[in-house]
C-alpha cells in the first residue's frame, strides 16, 4: 500500500514506520489513524518482517489528537471517531511482531497512547510525555499503562495531566533507555536489527505470552510457559543457533588464550 502520512521502510527484517505530518506535529487526524490501522493490521502477513519500529523521527513523535477535528464532534456523533483511535491502538498492541517505539519529541494525549501500545519504548533527550486527556475533560487510557508503570504511578500520570521529560519517563520505567538528541533512530535501528535476527515465531509467541500472562493465575502461567518452551526446545533452528553460539564462544576462548 501507499500512504500519505506514513513513511515505511523495510530492511533486514525490520519495518520502520514514521508518522509524517510535521506541519501539524504529527497530530492524529482520522486519515493518519486509518493508515496506522491498515499498516499494523496487515504487518503480521509479511514474513519478511520480524520486528517493527514506530517513530515520528528525531524531532517529533505525535502531538496527539487533532483538536480541530475533535472540536467539531458532538456527543451524539462521536462513535466513529472514537472507534478510529481504538482500532489504531489495538492494531499496534496486537500486531504479531514486536513493536519498538522510538520517541524523538513530544508524545502527548493520543500520541502518548500510541507509545503505550508498543512493546518497548526508547526516547531521545528531547522527548516529552503527557496523558493530557483529563485537561480536555476526556477520560484517559489506564490499561495497559498500569501494567507498564504500576497502578499508583499510572493514576498520577492520568489524573494530573503532567508533562514528563525523558529522564522522568525512564525513572518510572515507562521508557527503557534515553539516547542523546540526534542518536535515537540509529541506536534503535541497531537494537531492532539484532532482534530481527531471532526466530520469528519465537518473537511472536513471546509477545503474545507477555500480553496473556498477567490475566492468569501463577500456576496457569507457569504451565503455559512450560508448554511454549517445549514447542521450541530441540527444534532444528534451536540446534542451529546453539551450534553457532558454541562456535563463537570457542573462537573467543581461543583468542583469549593467544
| pLDDT at position 141 over 60 | yes
234: left (phi over 0), alpha (psi -120 to 50) or beta: left
In the chain, % of residues over pLDDT 70: 95
Give the per-residue pLDDT at 257. 83
pLDDT digit string, tens, across residues 163-204: 999 999 999 999 999 999 999 999 999 999 999 999 999 999
Give the per-residue pLDDT at 5. 96
| pLDDT at position 160 over 60 | yes
| pLDDT at position 150 over 80 | yes
140: left (phi over 0), alpha (psi -120 to 50) or beta: beta
- As a whole number, mean pLDDT of residues 100-119 equals 96
Beta bridge partners, 90, equal none
Ordered domains of the chain (ranges, CATH): 6-196 (3.90.226.10), 216-257 (no CATH)
DSSP 137: T
- Mean pLDDT rounded to a whole number for the chain: 91
Determine the Cα–Cα distance for residues 14 and 52; give it in Å rounded to an integer: 6
pLDDT digit string, tens, across residues 207-244: 999 888 888 888 888 888 888 888 888 888 888 888 88
Does the pTM of the predicted model rise above 0.75? yes
Amino acid at each position: 500500500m501507499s500512504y500519505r502520512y506514513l513513511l515505511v521502510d523495510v530492511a533486514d527484517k525490520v519495518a520502520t514506520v514514521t508518522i509524517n505530518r510535521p506541519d501539524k506535529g504529527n497530530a492524529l487526524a482520522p486519515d493518519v489513524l486509518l493508515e496506522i490501522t491498515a499498516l499494523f493490521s496487515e504487518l503480521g502477513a509479511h514474513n519478511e518482517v520480524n520486528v517493527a519500529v514506530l517513530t515520528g523521527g528525531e524531532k517529533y513523535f505525535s502531538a496527539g489528537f487533532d483538536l480541530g477535528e475533535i472540536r467539531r464532534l458532538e456527543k451524539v456523533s462521536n462513535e466513529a471517531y472514537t472507534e478510529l483511535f481504538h482500532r489504531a491502538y489495538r492494531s499496534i498492541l496486537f500486531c504479531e511482531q514486536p513493536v519498538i517505539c522510538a520517541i524523538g519529541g513530544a508524545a502527548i494525549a493520543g500520541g502518548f497512547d500510541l507509545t503505550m501500545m508498543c512493546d518497548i519504548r526508547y526516547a531521545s533527550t528531547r522527548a516529552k510525555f503527557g496523558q493530557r486527556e483529563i485537561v480536555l475533560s476526556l477520560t484517559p487510557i489506564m490499561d495497559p499503562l498500569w501494567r507498564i508503570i504500576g497502578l499508583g504511578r499510572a493514576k498520577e500520570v492520568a489524573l494530573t495531566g503532567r508533562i514528563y521529560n525523558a529522564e522522568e519517563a525512564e525513572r518510572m520505567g515507562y521508557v527503557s533507555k534515553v539516547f542523546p538528541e540526534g542518536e535515537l533512530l540509529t541506536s534503535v535501528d541497531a537494537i531492532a536489527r539484532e532482534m530481527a535476527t531471532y526466530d520469528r515465531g519465537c518473537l511472536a509467541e513471546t509477545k503474545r505470552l507477555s500480553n496473556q500472562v498477567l490475566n492468569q493465575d501463577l500456576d496457569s502461567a507457569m504451565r503455559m510457559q512450560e508448554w511454549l518452551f517445549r514447542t521450541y526446545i530441540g527444534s532444528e533452528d534451536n540446534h542451529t543457533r546453539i551450534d553457532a553460539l558454541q562456535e563463537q564462544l570457542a573462537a573467543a576462548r581461543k583468542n583469549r588464550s593467544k
